[in-house]
Amino acid sequence: MIEPLHIAVVGAGIAGLSCATALQHAGYRVSVFDKSRGPGGRMSTRRGDSWQCDHGARFFTADDPGFRAEVARWERAGVAAPWYPELRQIDAAGRVTRGDAAERFVGTPGMSAPARMLASSLALYSGQTVSAVQRDGTSWRLLGQGEALSGCRFDALVIALPAPQAAQLLHAVAPRQGALAASVTMAPCWALMLQYAQPQALGFDAAQLAAGALCWAARDSAKPGRSGSESWVLHASAAWSTAHIDADPVTVAAQLLPAFAELGAAAPVQWQAHRWLYATPATPRAEVFDWDPKLALGLCGDWLGGVNVEAAWLSGRRLAHEISLR
Ligand SMILES: Cc1cc2nc3c(=O)[nH]c(=O)nc-3n(C[C@H](O)[C@H](O)[C@H](O)COP(=O)(O)OP(=O)(O)OC[C@H]3O[C@@H](n4cnc5c(N)ncnc54)[C@H](O)[C@@H]3O)c2cc1C
């Protein structure tokens, strides 16, 4: 019997999971590695006592027919649902208008749920930080502290990481692909998760702000399938987050909470801050994936072909298709 080719996927965000799922369906043996405790990457949910909040991706849209079909599958499995927030746009002069009625989706009961569903049929090794990758003859080896990393050789390697992290792993072993990843800058985002004992009557569930420290404020507990107490999430703008990149969480909260109070919010019972160093690609590439057949090395992620969840899923899926044409 011929053994199937063994492919390593580094990164269990939606791009890596989409790629790994399609490769597995195509008959490859796939192992997925991620440094975090669970899958999902930036599609993430923070949980506390009777409280939860999506502090990364706010929602996702689905325009591509293939991604729409995937989202429909997620909906049937109960891990995603449409979200129709009472949305407001607040312009630089403080004028408030009704937001668009675009179809938005969220993971249920939290944003990481679609990723967890995909990961459940894959060999996922969590808590495994890949610190280097090595080309060894015709195979790849992954280096790092995790036990699962050592000892395995892979016939092909997929890097599904934010561009700066991909660049770091690749520059020595694959200079062209390292330079491709290094050409993309990613904007940071400070996120503040707020817990309330009482509902906040602000007249909206979500607001997009065009100026000032905040660019997004949303009642996370109003998303479908949520339980627990009232929670809101605030995102600072890319400009503000860049200017405060090294600030400590207390300083960040001390500046963002008054901006939220200006919208009519009370002080929260509790808050937590999270800094995303690589939140969204500021200069994404037009190509949807990269595949080097000589090195058997592929790249996917939101920074290839877009800036969001849909782009990341498509990037992974299309890379898998290209690999399976080998
Ligand atoms: C604050 C914020 C708001 C957003 N809002 C939206 C939105 O409203 N709509 C939308 O569509 N998108 C939004 N996005 C973007 C969306 O979350 C991303 O486009 C998408 O999740 C990217 O998926 P990915 O698989 O490419 O990368 P990631 O989700 O970043 O996955 C990469 C994975 O690699 C792992 N990793 C990193 N380094 C290593 C290593 N050395 N070894 C092992 N594992 C490693 C990480 O733990 C992570 O799990 C938002 C993002 C943020 C942060």
Q: Hey, where are the domains in the chain?
A: 1-35+127-184+283-326, 48-63+80-110+186-282
The number of the ligand 1 atom at minimal distance from the alpha carbon of 307 is 19
pLDDT in the model for residue 152: 87
Tens digit of each residue's pLDDT (9 = 90 or more) over 35-53? 999 999 999 999 988 889 9
- How many angstroms separate the alpha carbon of residue 2 from the centre of ligand 1? 36
User: 1-35+127-184+283-326 with 48-63+80-110+186-282: one CATH topology?
Assistant: no
Tens digit of each residue's pLDDT (9 = 90 or more) over 176-225? 999 999 999 999 999 999 999 999 999 999 999 999 999 999 999 999 99
Superfamily covering domain 1-35+127-184+283-326: FAD/NAD(P)-binding domain (3.50.50.60)
Atom 48 of ligand 1, residue of closest alpha carbon: 41
pLDDT in the model for residue 148: 66
Q: Which pTM value belongs to this model? A: 0.97
Ligand 1 near 188 CB (within 6 A): no
Pairwise CA distance, residues 51 & 227, whole Å: 7
- How many angstroms separate the alpha carbon of residue 302 from the centre of ligand 1? 8
DSSP per residue over 86-126, as a string? -EEEE-TT--EEEPP---EEEESSSTTHHHHHHHTTSEEE-
Straight-line distance from the first to the last Cα atom of the chain, in angstroms, rounded to the nearest whole number = 20
- How many angstroms separate the alpha carbon of residue 115 from the centre of ligand 1? 11
Atom 6 of ligand 1, residue of closest alpha carbon: 57
Q: Please count the CA atoms within 13 angstroms of the CA of 130 that sit on its side-chain side.
A: 30
pLDDT in the model for residue 101: 86
Mean pLDDT of 248-262: 97
- Class of the 48-63+80-110+186-282 domain? alpha beta
- Positive or negative torsion for Cα 108, 110, 114, 117: negative
Find, among 21, 297, 18, the residue nearest to 159 by Cα: 297
Ligand 1 near 189 CB (within 6 A): yes
Pairwise CA distance, residues 216 & 211, whole Å: 10
pLDDT in the model for residue 149: 77
Pairwise CA distance, residues 259 & 246, whole Å: 20
Ligand 1 near 14 CB (within 6 A): yes
Tens digit of each residue's pLDDT (9 = 90 or more) over 259-292? 999 999 999 999 999 999 999 999 999 999 999 9
- How many angstroms separate the alpha carbon of residue 124 from the centre of ligand 1? 17
Tens digit of each residue's pLDDT (9 = 90 or more) over 77-105? 999 999 999 999 999 999 999 998 899 99
Contacts of 44 (CB under 8 A, 6+ apart): 54, 55, 56, 57, 111, 112
pLDDT mean across residues, the chain: 95
Tens digit of each residue's pLDDT (9 = 90 or more) over 147-170? 667 778 999 999 999 999 999 999
pLDDT in the model for residue 169: 97
The number of the ligand 1 atom at minimal distance from the alpha carbon of 301 is 26
- How many angstroms separate the alpha carbon of residue 166 from the centre of ligand 1? 13
